[in-house]
Amino acid sequence: MNSSSGYILLLDSQCEEDLMVQSLSIQLESNVFVAHSADQAVARIEESIPYLVILSGAHKNWSPALVDRLRETVRPSGSTTIVALTQSHEPSWSPQEEHPGIDGFLVEPLTQDVLHLVVESAAAKTTL
């Protein structure tokens, strides 16, 4: 799947470029940019708007202020999908109502099929 309309932005403040990044960029043939801070993510979005933003790391890193900042930065396109990764062992997932700017939550470890479907869905959303 090669989306000519954008790229995937992975915000991972813990600097863990892992199998997911390799999977996104190689198997899905998508361009992936890894940002290690909110400022770096916003700077990249200001250059070019991604079709998918993935927030990785502990849920405390996805503050409402951060999500609002990302939403405001991608607002010109309005079609960017923002999802957050959670750990299967994380004891306290917040209800989605507490994170209205996040389109959905994915539980790690992700299967290739789930990842592929999320990317396809986000890319399709940009064509609407």
DSSP string, 41-78: HHHHHHHS--SEEEEES-GGGS-HHHHHHHHHHHTTT-
Q: What pLDDT sits at residue 3? A: 44
Q: What pLDDT sits at residue 85? A: 83
Q: Which pairs from 69-78 meet CB under 8 Å and 24+ separation?
A: 69/38, 69/42, 70/11, 70/38, 70/41, 70/42, 70/45, 70/101, 71/101, 73/42, 73/45, 73/46, 74/45, 74/49, 74/50, 76/49, 77/49, 77/126
Q: What is the pLDDT along the chain (128 residues), one digit of tens a residue?
A: 444 458 989 888 665 555 566 666 655 667 888 888 889 999 999 999 999 999 987 666 678 888 899 999 888 767 899 998 887 776 445 666 667 788 888 887 778 888 888 988 998 888 76
The distance of Cα 12 from the centroid of its chain, to the nearest Å, equals 9
Domains of the chain (ranges, CATH numbers): 8-126 (3.40.50.2300)
Q: What pLDDT sits at residue 63? A: 81
Q: What pLDDT sits at residue 91? A: 45
Whole-number Å distance between alpha carbons of 83 and 105: 5
CA angle 128, 126, 64 (to 5 degrees): 115
pTM: 0.84
